Amino acid sequence: MAKAPQTSASLMERLRDLRDEAAWAQFVEIYAPLVYGWLRKQGLQDADAADLTQDALRAATQALPGLEYDAGQGSFRGWLFTIVRNKLCNFRERRREQGSGDSQTLRFLNGIQQQQQSGENDWEQKYRRRLFAWAAEQVREQVSDGNWQAFWQTSVQDKSALEAARLLGMSVSAVYTAKSRVLARIKNLIEQVKEDWSDGD
């Protein structure tokens, strides 16, 4: 079973300590897939997206220990998005300077403006999905298979409680209870790792 994250301090507070390996591992586990997935959606090839993900997380890692929280400055994920977007802009600028002249590069460059406009909304959506997926992975290891299946079938696969109960050999009441408990654990875990820099959501 995976160990639940500490509740005494937020993840962002724990990241100020460069020796807190568990916090840094959790940071990478949550944010690396988010950054990589967003970069791939922006049209980068696998290797380029992986390299830029490392660059962005390295830049964040270097800045985090001395970063001062200011609610007026927005959310942590917004700050990280700015880093990622800047890394992407720098990458594209280098690409533009190298300009191969082939049609694929031209399409890539022509799509920059449109991608930048939809980028922030896409980032936020990917962040929410990634955080849920991460929390679900953690909780999955902490609950029985029957309880997990009751939650998964009714919440994700959209089966009725009656149908899930039949498939799992549980009572309808037990399905509802399992679903509620698993969902509560997922929400609780998300709240534990949500950064101090939240913007009210």
pTM, 2 dp: 0.67
Task: Show the domain range for 91.
Answer: 11-193
Per the domain annotation, does 1 fall within a domain?
no
pLDDT tier, 98 (very low <50, low <70, confident <90, very high otherwise) = low
Q: Residue 19 to residues 16, 22, 60: CA-CA distances in angstroms?
A: 9, 9, 16
Structure tokens at 52: 């830029």
- Which one is predicted more confidently, 74 or 100? 74
Per the domain annotation, does 199 fall within a domain?
no
Per the domain annotation, does 100 fall within a domain?
yes
At 104 the pLDDT is 56
Per the domain annotation, does 3 fall within a domain?
no
pLDDT, tens digit, 9 for 90 and up, residues 17-46: 778 888 888 888 989 999 999 999 888 999
- DSSP assigned state of 16: T
At 184 the pLDDT is 93
Cβ proximity of 195 and 27 under 8 Å: no
Cβ proximity of 62 and 50 under 8 Å: no
Structure tokens at 50: 């992986």
- Which one is predicted more confidently, 54 or 105? 54
- Which one is predicted more confidently, 81 or 96? 81
- pLDDT above 90: percentage of residues in the chain: 38
Per the domain annotation, does 4 fall within a domain?
no
Per the domain annotation, does 6 fall within a domain?
no
pLDDT tier, 146 (very low <50, low <70, confident <90, very high otherwise) = very high
Residue 147 and residue 182: Cα distance in Å, rounded? 7
Per the domain annotation, does 62 fall within a domain?
yes
Give the chain's domain count: 1
Residue 74 and residue 180: Cα distance in Å, rounded? 32
Per the domain annotation, does 69 fall within a domain?
yes
